[in-house]
Amino acid sequence: MEFRWSAKELPNEIKIKALADSFSISKPLAAILLQRGIETPEQADLFFNPKIEHLHDPFLMQDMEKAISRIEKAIADKEKIIIYGDYDVDGTTAVSTVFSYFRNFNQNMEYYIPDRYKEGYGISKTGIDYAAEHGFKLIIALDCGIRSNALVDYASSLGIDFIICDHHLPGEEIPAAAAVLNPKRNDCSYPYKELSGAGIGYKLIQAYSEKNGLPPSTHEEYLDLVAVSIASDLVDIRGENRILAFFGLKKLAENPGIGLQALMEGTLAKTEFSIMDVVFGIGPRINAAGRIADANAAVKMLIEKDFNTAHKFARVLHDRNHERKGLDSDITREAISMVENSPTLQSKSSTVLHGENWHKGVIGIVASRLVEQFYKPTIVFSISDDMLTGSARSVKDFDIHEAIGSCGDLVDQYGGHKYAAGLSVKRENFDAFVERFEQIVRDNLHDDSRVPEIEYDLELQLSDINYEMLNSLKRMAPFGPGNMLPVFKSTDLNCNGSARVLKDKHLKLSFNVGGNFLDGIGFGLGYQIPMVVNNQKFSACYSIEENTFNGRTSIQLRLRDIKQE
């Protein structure tokens, strides 16, 4: 796939030198920090040295006082409480966090995860009816509920209160719940808006601890679950999320909860975790529970206190993840073939596909694969009777959630974020929806958004790269949305070491830099080897990483793309 390269704006040289001198760092690192809004030594210190006490006061969040008061009443009156959450990683970790915390104070508790296939996303009437039939008086909803106004009213008519802890965009009217915790509310002055669902759940238990004079360890023991949610839900990793992720990843490596211990035993166990380790290792296994069957196995594992029992649930998740991989691979191949064999689909600005037997649990993954392959706003639908259920994924700078909302009269239900959303459409409305969605994409997708972009931070000479730079970059972790691993560009390169293709698809290069060899690896870039042989000049975009092989550790360039000069 062709990429366009673009440079981030280079900060003022005077500012670069001032920050480098005052904080005793290299000028390239100072430039990167300035690009990320870190302009003073004090801000740099906060960035490099996160402190748990820098988390915001949870009572700054609108309705937090109401939420804690309602929970305290429920505990005092021994009311039955349901902890209700979505079936993805964010939802299940949020439920596990809040349930595990409050069961220390109330034994009249259950958790409830809606069935993806029978109830769909978010709060369901089935779940409310279950609560009513079994005498529950309070539902704490996590990672869902912000647009469930009618269902909250229905629950209220049955004598059931809701506390909603959600991070999705609210509608025009906030549900009439006992409390609604969502920093994205227009009337909420909470300083940080990008918490995950589990992050808001964490603020709830932090508030309860503080209100009741409990030690911080009472709620901080769940930071590993919060870090898993932050990574897996791909939320912004600056500000408060950086602090939560930093300490959560640290706990994940040093002292994870029993359930996560069981899940990570063997191949997933590490002495140090990155966001990407969670995204590609831990998250998919937790997600697989709800994709293939119901997500209760994930929650059972995450709340379990006995390792052997947790290990049994972990085995279930591993098996479901293996099954998920097979389904994902098969449907992806079929979907790619459909596009490649259809000139009509290829000519469109969007990709919208459906399949009669496509598993609803993996269509989101398939949509992501199609975006990688064709780079267009994409919706993949699964058909069940007269309803099509879809997962949408987008490209840079195109708000797919808003585009779906513009088709509102043709959509039964939808929700999500700018770059990922879910929806359902009646079969009779499908063709009209596809036509209108395509028109919206065609009219609003900028030319720059039709080609994938590699945005690089700085230009470097290979001779600038050393262990001092690598160690400085490592201190910028955790990396993720809003604080991505820095990318560099070098020009006038010459592969004066060696060049070869590994496993028929990966490009392996070696550069002789002043008598020292610097290796580079480009996964999936083997097809570009003609550009780098025979002493040809080329440019490269890459990140800098540490590589250990056969007991030897060295600096390595992770090649993102190369272009001939």
362 and 281 in a common domain = no
Q: CA-CA distance, 241 to 297, in Å (whole number)?
A: 27
503 and 407 in a common domain = no
Report phi then psi at 191, rounded to 5.
Answer: -70, -20
State residue 174's pLDDT score: 98
187 and 68 in a common domain = yes
Which token pair is 300? 């059972």
State residue 465's pLDDT score: 93
Residue 392 in any domain: the answer is yes
516 and 551 in a common domain = yes
Question: For 219-276, how does the pLDDT look when each residue is reduced to its tens digit (9 = 90+)?
Answer: 999 999 999 999 999 899 999 999 999 999 999 999 999 999 999 998 788 889 999 9
Q: CA-CA distance, 93 to 87, in Å (whole number)?
A: 9
Q: How many domains are there within the chain?
A: 3
Give the DSSP per-residue string, 75-97: HHTT-EEEEEE-SSHHHHHHHHH
Q: Write out residues in the chain with pLDDT < 70, as ranges.
A: none
Question: For 405-417, how does the pLDDT look when each residue is reduced to its tens digit (9 = 90+)?
Answer: 999 899 998 887 8
State residue 414's pLDDT score: 87
Q: Helix 296-303 and helix 307-340: axis angle, to 10°?
A: 150
| Domain carrying residue 229 | 54-318
CATH number of residue 125's parent domain:
3.90.1640.30
Q: Which of 194, 190, 196, 165 is closest to 70 using CA atoms?
A: 165
Q: At a CB cut-off of 8 Å and minimum separation 6, what does 427 contact?
A: 383, 386, 387, 388
348 and 306 in a common domain = no
CATH number of residue 18's parent domain:
2.40.50.460
492 and 421 in a common domain = no
67 and 33 in a common domain = no
State residue 345's pLDDT score: 95
pTM for this entry: 0.91
Residue 311 in any domain: the answer is yes
313 and 366 in a common domain = no
Domain boundary residue, one of 429, 450, 471: 450
535 and 469 in a common domain = yes
State residue 269's pLDDT score: 84
State residue 413's pLDDT score: 85
Q: Half-sphere exposure (CA, 13 Å, Cβ side) for 236?
A: 12
Q: Is the CB of residue 86 less than 8 Å from the CB of residue 299?
A: no
